[in-house]
């Protein structure tokens, strides 16, 4: 007998814990070659950007060499994306510096300890959110609002690099304070530093345009070091990185107090949120491209593990690098083996090659950061939002200005709060569709979408266009009552379609009870249709079902319409036309079935067709004595035979 291709229970459990193991099925030499190329490409980008982003976080350049190997390896093991690179992130680095900068002096041992503690807390928050399956929370944050936040964050990152490019010292404070300081001290610009920074930016942009396969950041870094060493730029006033200690630091838990942890908690939640928000989009994009699935909750766990690893090695918060992820994918990488190899190569640099970076100009590092975050300043997206929908543009603009005016953490709170407000506001607006029958069919459609849809006099069929819950319950009740009051023909029954309400809450059930009483006081019956089982159980427990009556709860809307017609004498042409259309559809089905019938069955089928034709004739005679409908509402029923 052959081997069972299905994985064992133990292997399946390991694959759930570490999606990386599942991605290795069928791994061969050709895939290894692609992953190695991806690793070399990512390492070439990571070393210079990592050193630059470490300075964004307020730490020395070597902090990236210490902490990112663990972050790369842990995300590789626990994340679900096969191409995403989780290492240094400009946005996370700035959030980290903003959080810790309010508690300690940059460069002090306390600053380093608090930064590591912040990374650990951010990792714990993200991992806990993943374990609790809170990944779906991402859908509640407006992409347009986050676009504005990221744009503002990019401007803050850029303004912090300008002094390095100009050779100016002393700029502090928020965005506008730094901008004012730079403008007022332009006369102190160091010409040679400006030349180095400008040349670095120009070279980065030129190399990126010439070929994406060339690691522009690494090439500029190497040239910058070579030119700096050859011309002794440090002796001419150009700031350089200086001595970088070789080796690694052992893992350790930062020595901080409980009070410090509580102060770091808002920033940790912010880092977890921003890291997840900037990672989940690219992760889904790569998954769709390569035909596999990513799990948002598993992504949270992977991000949490990466930040825990960074914090344990005296590093800083980790996040998604879109540029390195894209380069990894373009190199053909198929698994997270590329991240594991990148981690190993980074360790080799930390152990043996740090001395090569001593002469690296600070202006070159600043140029690498500025060019790397240009993609975060998405002007085209802001213009598109302004053209497509003003409300989305206003949300993005408010988030952008909030970051610039109030700094990173308050700006993040503004962005998150604005997203939640927009979510609740849109959900609370009473979007209520009235349903009518499409002429010639028994199908129901919203009257505002299907202009020919026919409604039955005295019966109003309403469908909330979102789930019924506490935020919109009162608005929906008021909207139903308003439409009942404004109806041209007196309303005798309201049929409410609850198809979109999967999980009714108590305020929603209480609203239905109140609506039933309000309508009853007006002599109007409330009926419900398509009530899902969880909602029906809650209606039973709250006593609403007993008030409405089980006979007024229908499995689907058509059954509710039929029950209405049984209870009320049909006098309007719309109701008789519905019956006529029903007869026509029955006749069509019987006629279609006749081709397969023979003998006695064929005779009975023809007899049934005669009876249906007779009924249709009497129906048309009846319709001639009723008030004739407008020509636009005639539908296909008037000319069938």
pLDDT band at 395 (very low <50, low <70, confident <90, very high): confident
Mean pLDDT of 326-350: 88
Q: In what order do the strands lie in the sheet with 553-554?
A: 444-446, 432-437, 459-464, 493-497, 525-529, 553-554
Q: Where does 440-594 have alpha helices with state H?
A: 470-486, 506-521, 533-541, 544-548, 557-567, 573-593
pLDDT band at 602 (very low <50, low <70, confident <90, very high): low
Q: What is the pLDDT of residue 457?
A: 78
Is the per-residue pLDDT at 631 higher than 50?
A: no
Mean pLDDT of 459-487: 87
Is the per-residue pLDDT at 622 higher than 60?
A: no
Mean pLDDT of 80-85: 90
Bridge partner list, 435? 446
Q: CA quadruple 54, 58, 59, 60: dihedral positive or negative? A: positive
Cβ neighbourhood burial of 607 (10 Å; 0-12, 13-18, 19+): exposed
Mean pLDDT of 313-322: 88
User: In Å, how far are 13, 56, 165 from 189, measured between CA atoms?
Assistant: 60, 21, 9
Q: What is the pLDDT of residue 633?
A: 45
Q: What is the pLDDT of residue 448?
A: 74
Strands 459-464 and 493-497: parallel
Q: What is the pLDDT of residue 443?
A: 65
CB 294 within 8 A of CB 81: yes
Is the per-residue pLDDT at 37 higher than 50?
A: yes
Higher pLDDT, 457 or 542: 542
* Residue 458: φ, ψ to 5°: 95, -20
Q: What is the pLDDT of residue 258?
A: 92
CB 135 within 8 A of CB 82: no
Q: What is the pLDDT of residue 312?
A: 93
Tell me the pLDDT tens digit for each residue of 553-588.
999 887 887 787 767 665 555 555 665 565 566 666
Scored b (16 or more CB within 10 A) or e, 278-289 reads bbbebbbbbbee
Contacts of 442 (CB under 8 A, 6+ apart): 558, 578, 581, 582, 585
CB 339 within 8 A of CB 72: yes
Q: What is the pLDDT of residue 138?
A: 64
Q: What is the pLDDT of residue 3?
A: 41
Q: What is the pLDDT of residue 636?
A: 40
CA dihedral of 304, 307, 312, 315, whole degrees rounded to 10: -170
What's the rounded Cα separation, in Å, for the pair 165 and 158? 10
Is the per-residue pLDDT at 632 higher than 70?
A: no
Is the per-residue pLDDT at 14 higher than 70?
A: no
What's the rounded Cα separation, in Å, for the pair 245 and 182? 32
Mean pLDDT value across the chain: 83
Is the per-residue pLDDT at 441 higher than 90?
A: no
Is the per-residue pLDDT at 281 higher than 50?
A: yes
Is the per-residue pLDDT at 420 higher than 80?
A: no
Q: What is the pLDDT of residue 16?
A: 62
Strands 459-464 and 432-437: antiparallel
CA dihedral of 406, 412, 418, 420, whole degrees rounded to 10: -150
Is the per-residue pLDDT at 641 higher than 50?
A: no
Is the per-residue pLDDT at 274 higher than 60?
A: yes
CB 420 within 8 A of CB 139: no
Domain ranges of the chain: 27-396, 432-567, 573-639
Tell me the pLDDT tens digit for each residue of 240-260.
888 888 888 889 999 999 999
Tell me the pLDDT tens digit for each residue of 16-25.
667 787 777 7
What's the rounded Cα separation, in Å, for the pair 18 and 305? 12
Q: What is the value of pTM for the model shown?
A: 0.68
CB atoms within 10 A of CB 184: 9
CA nearest 506: which of 545, 541, 465, 547?
541
Is the per-residue pLDDT at 273 higher than 90?
A: no
pLDDT band at 2 (very low <50, low <70, confident <90, very high): very low
**Percentages of the chain per state (helix, strand, coil), in multiples of 5:** 70, 5, 25
Is the per-residue pLDDT at 608 higher than 80?
A: no
Q: Which of 150-159, 287-296, 299-308 has the highest mean pLDDT?
A: 299-308
CA nearest 327: which of 548, 529, 39, 118?
39
Q: What is the pLDDT of residue 34?
A: 86
Q: What is the pLDDT of residue 309?
A: 94
What's the rounded Cα separation, in Å, for the pair 234 and 193? 10
Percent of the chain topping pLDDT 90: 33
CB 13 within 8 A of CB 315: no
Is the per-residue pLDDT at 470 higher than 60?
A: yes
Q: Find out if CATH 3.30.750.24 is the number for domain 432-567.
A: yes
What's the rounded Cα separation, in Å, for the pair 316 and 29? 35
């Amino acid at each position: 007998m052959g081997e069972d291709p299905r994985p064992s229970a133990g292997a399946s459990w390991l694959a759930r814990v570490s999606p990386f193991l599942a991605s290795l099925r069928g791994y061969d030499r050709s895939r290894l070659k692609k992953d190695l190329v991806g690793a070399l490409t990512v390492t070439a980008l990571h070393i210079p950007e990592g050193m630059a982003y470490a300075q964004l976080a307020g730490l020395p350049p070597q902090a990236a060499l210490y902490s990112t190997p663990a972050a790369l390896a842990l995300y590789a093991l626990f994340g679900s994306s096969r191409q995403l690179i989780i290492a240094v992130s400009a946005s996370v680095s700035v959030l980290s510096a903003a959080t810790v900068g309010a508690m300690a002096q940059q460069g002090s041992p306390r600053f380093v300890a608090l930064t590591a503690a912040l990374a650990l807390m951010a990792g714990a928050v993200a991992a806990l959110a993943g374990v609790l399956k809170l990944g779906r929370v991402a859908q509640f944050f407006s992409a347009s609002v986050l676009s504005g936040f990221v744009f503002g964050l990019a401007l803050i990152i850029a303004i912090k690099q300008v002094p390095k490019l100009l050779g100016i010292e002393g700029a502090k404070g928020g965005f506008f304070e730094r901008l004012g300081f730079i403008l007022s001290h332009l006369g102190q610009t160091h010409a040679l530093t400006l030349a180095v920074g400008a040349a670095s930016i120009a070279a980065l942009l030129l190399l990126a345009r010439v070929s994406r396969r060339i690691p522009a950041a690494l090439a500029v870094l190497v040239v910058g070091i070579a030119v700096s060493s050859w011309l002794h730029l440090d002796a001419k006033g150009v700031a350089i990185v200086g001595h970088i200690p070789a080796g690694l630091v052992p893992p350790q838990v930062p020595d901080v107090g409980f009070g410090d942890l509580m102060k770091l908690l808002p920033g940790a939640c912010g880092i977890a949120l921003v890291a997840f928000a900037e990672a989940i989009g690219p992760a889904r994009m790569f998954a769709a491209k390569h035909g596999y699935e990513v799990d948002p909750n598993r992504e949270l766990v992977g991000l949490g593990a990466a930040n825990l690893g960074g914090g344990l090695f005296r590093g800083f918060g980790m996040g998604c690098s879109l540029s390195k992820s894209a380069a990894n994918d373009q190199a053909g990488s198929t698994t997270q083996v590329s991240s594991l190899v990148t981690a190993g190569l980074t360790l080799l640099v930390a152990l043996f090659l740090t001395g090569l970076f001593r002469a690296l100009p600070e202006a070159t590092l600043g140029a690498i950061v500025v060019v790397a975050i240009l993609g975060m300043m998405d002007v085209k997206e802001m213009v598109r939002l302004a053209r497509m929908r003003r409300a989305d543009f206003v949300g993005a603009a408010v988030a952008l200005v909030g970051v610039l005016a109030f700094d990173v953490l308050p700006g993040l709170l503004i962005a998150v709060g604005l997203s939640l407000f927009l979510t609740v506001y849109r959900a609370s607006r009473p979007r209520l569709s009235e349903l009518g029958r499409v002429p010639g069919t028994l199908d129901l459609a919203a009257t505002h979408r299907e202009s020919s849809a026919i409604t039955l006099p005295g019966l109003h069929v309403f469908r909330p266009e979102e789930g019924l819950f506490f935020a919109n319950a009162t608005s929906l009740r008021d909207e139903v009552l308003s439409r009942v009051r404004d109806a041209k023909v007196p309303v005798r029954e309201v049929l409410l379609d609850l198809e979109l309400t999967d999980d009714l809450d108590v305020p929603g059930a209480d609203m239905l009870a109140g609506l039933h009483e309000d309508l009853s006081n007006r002599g109007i019956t409330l009926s419900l249709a398509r009530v899902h089982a969880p909602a029906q159980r809650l209606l039973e427990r709250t006593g609403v079902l007993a008030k409405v009556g089980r006979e007024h709860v229908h499995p689907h809307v058509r059954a509710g319409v039929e029950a209405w017609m049984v209870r009320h004498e049909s006098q309007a042409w719309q109701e008789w036309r519905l019956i006529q259309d029903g007869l026509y559809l029955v006749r069509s089905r019987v006629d279609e079935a006749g081709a397969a019938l023979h003998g006695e069955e064929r005779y009975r089928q023809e007899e049934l067709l005669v009876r249906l034709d007779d009924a249709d004739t009497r129906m048309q005679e009846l319709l001639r004595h009723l008030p004739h409908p407008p020509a636009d509402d005639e539908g296909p029923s008037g000319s069938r035979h």
